[in-house]
Amino acid sequence: MTVGPKTALVAAALFACAEATPESRAAPEPVNELPNPYERIEPWAELPDGVAQWPAVTGVETGPDGYLYVMHRCFENTCAGRPEDPIAKYDLSGNFVESWGAGLFNYPHGFHVDYEGNIWATDAQGDGELGHQVFKFSPAGELLMTLGKAGVAGLGPDVFNQPTDVLVLPGGEFLVSEGHGDGNNRIVRFSRDGVFLSAFGETGTGPRQFDTPHALAMDSKGRVFVGDRGNNRIQIFEQDGTFIEEWKQFGRPSGIAITHNDTIYVADSESWGPDNPGWKKGIRVGSATDGSVAYFIEDIESMVDPHSGAEAVGVDVLGNVYGGVVRRRMLEKHVRLP
């Protein structure tokens, strides 16, 4: 995928957090005024079968099979009691292919397509009968694994409290982040078969502490990036949970995508208002290697207080960027210009 010369990324580096002191990282100046080499298309793609209008879109990622997988939150921001399938499969022209998942979710949230093409999804809130679970599906929608207890929030090896995202590591072990305003604010590690291995994290603002760990991603070195949204930062870890550093130059992260060449895309859907004053909402694009920020896809409501813009972010092999928008309820596409 071509996202831009590496020299452009380096030249546009506004922060080099690997060399910065903790004091200089504490309150960086907003990163707003950067080039935007993309053309916006919104809304984009056919509606999924059985859906009259786009619901809140909470996940969008491409798979190794070349298809685009999308997750939405059914009607009025919940799938409880709804007939719609919250997970849909598309080709890259926006044509609907198939869907699945009806009856399993209350509040679809985290979304991940692993290197084998399996689709992972979390149900981040419970309603007594559904929620607080993690599901693994095949690329054709077959349910392969269920973790957690439906509707039961807890802190333990077999329960979750507001699971927000999933990341499959090389070899098949996987991580689950927890905490969406409340919850456990931790990262849990499981074996390939779903056996609890370890966990770390607690509520707070220091290293290895979290306030809504909202997104997970991994770079080419195997480092784990956690979108610590409530703390307006990305924390970077070794796979065993060893803290490496924090980055604040990407805004208030709701979603993170990292491509094979270590280009990082960070969706910021909650800045500008009291949560992160002065920072515009949008998708910041840069380098996962050195933390530089090269481009900014500004949201059309970048300077309003209500949360807006893309929460989820995905990228295809051509460098086109997809945003899953919750409040305005749509799937958007940003076409990479020549």
More confident residue, 12 or 191: 191
Domain of residue 30 covers 6-330
d(CA 319, CA 18): 26
pLDDT tens-place string over residues 33-76: 999 999 999 999 999 999 999 999 999 999 999 999 999 999 99
pLDDT tens-place string over residues 127-169: 989 999 999 999 999 999 999 999 999 999 999 999 999 999 9
pLDDT tens-place string over residues 297-311: 999 999 999 998 999
Q: Cite the DSSP H helix spans in the chain.
A: 6-11, 22-25
The answer as to whether 188 is a domain residue is yes
Domain count, the chain: 1
d(CA 86, CA 239): 30
pLDDT of residue 10: 34
The 3-state DSSP composition of the chain as helix, strand, coil percent (nearest 5) reads 5, 40, 55
pLDDT of residue 120: 98
Identify residue 199 by its one-letter amino acid code: A
pLDDT of residue 19: 40
The answer as to whether 335 is a domain residue is no
What is the pTM assigned to this prediction?
Answer: 0.92
The answer as to whether 229 is a domain residue is yes
pLDDT of residue 14: 37
pLDDT of residue 128: 87
d(CA 217, CA 239): 11
Kindly report the CATH number assigned to the domain that includes residue 58: 2.120.10.30
The answer as to whether 302 is a domain residue is yes
The answer as to whether 112 is a domain residue is yes
The answer as to whether 130 is a domain residue is yes
